[in-house]
């Protein structure tokens, strides 16, 4: 087992949270090391909306402009039941910020631009590297990492950031609970081109929620055309990720457990 150089901060997870933390620290001259068990940036259709607070953070990292160029400003949200619009609200009137309304931008785009910024700041991500165990002492954290090929190494850092998601292995090892509530539902989602029939109109720049006693179906316009559609099912109904043909001539993923 080898020992790696000691950074000031070790970040486990290179999603939007981990990349944002790494970029922020590097801008302030703090040495960081970032590891992620994935083989590279995500291509999965995960989160979709960036709200004003998140955009302000990204603006400080000098990525908000690039994100804005690849996003769709949302004008509002509407709520439907039995084919009738029953409520709605408008976006874009928030005061005291350069970003008065939310932007629709798929998570892979956000991760791509944050990753590019990380490289510009002199950082890197060690892909295919997973945290196997964590020990915390008074002055440092010791993490056993399993890298490509399964070779273990030991990393030490003054600070450890667990940015490895809601089901964080680091938090589980340390016994840190995930506070809050969860929904006992699975979500299926897919991105693609939709064809509306009759008087139905697809949303052009809004999030559209269709409410039923059995659950909710959501339709959101995408920046590059097409829409994202997702709906919920009772927990355990899904059988795992799968693909179906789409009108774009590619696969449209349906991922249980994912949200907007």
Q: What pLDDT does residue 248 have?
A: 36
Side by side, the strands of the sheet bearing 2-3 are 2-3, 152-157, 141-146, 130-136
Contact indicator for 215, 233 with CB cutoff of 8 Å:
yes
The CA distance from 18 to 38, in Å, is 13
Contacts of 167 (CB under 8 A, 6+ apart): none
Closest CA to 76 of 63, 93, 64, 62: 93
Give pLDDT, residue 183.
78
* Whether the Cβ atoms of residue 22 and residue 15 lie closer than 8 Å to each other: no
Residue 159 neighbours by CB distance under 10 Å: 14
Mean pLDDT by 10 residues, the chain (260 residues): 68 96 96 95 87 96 96 96 93 94 95 97 96 88 91 92 90 86 85 79 89 93 93 76 41 33
What per-residue confidence (pLDDT) applies to 203?
A: 85
Measure the CA–CA gap between 62 and 113, rounded to whole angstroms: 10
pTM: 0.85
């Amino acid at each position: 087992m080898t020992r790696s150089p000691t950074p000031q901060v070790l970040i486990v997870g290179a999603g939007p949270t981990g990349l944002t933390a790494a970029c922020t620290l590097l801008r302030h001259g703090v040495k960081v090391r970032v590891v992620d068990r994935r083989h590279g940036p995500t291509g999965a259709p995960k989160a979709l909306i960036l709200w004003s607070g998140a955009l302000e953070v990204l603006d400080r990292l000098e990525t908000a402009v690039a994100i804005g160029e690849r996003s769709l400003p949302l004008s509002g949200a509407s709520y439907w039941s039995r084919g009738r619009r029953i409520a709605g609200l408008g976006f874009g009137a928030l005061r005291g910020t350069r970003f008065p309304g939310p932007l629709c931008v798929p998570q892979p785009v956000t991760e791509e631009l944050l990753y590019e910024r990380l490289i510009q700041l002199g950082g890197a991500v060690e892909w295919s590297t997973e945290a196997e165990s964590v020990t915390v002492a008074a002055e440092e954290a010791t993490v056993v990492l399993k890298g490509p090929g399964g070779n273990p190494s030991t990393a030490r850092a003054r600070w450890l950031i667990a940015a490895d998601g809601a089901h964080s292995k680091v938090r589980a090892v340390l016994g840190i609970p995930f506070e809050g509530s969860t929904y006992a539902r699975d979500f299926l989602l897919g991105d693609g081109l939709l064809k509306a029939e009759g008087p139905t109109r697809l949303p052009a720049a809004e999030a559209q929620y269709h409410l039923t006693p059995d659950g909710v179906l959501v339709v959101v316009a995408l920046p590059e055309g097409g829409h994202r559609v997702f709906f919920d099912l009772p927990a355990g109904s899904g059988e795992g990720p799968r693909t179906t043909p789409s009108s774009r001539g590619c696969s449209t993923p349906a991922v249980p457990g994912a949200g907007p």
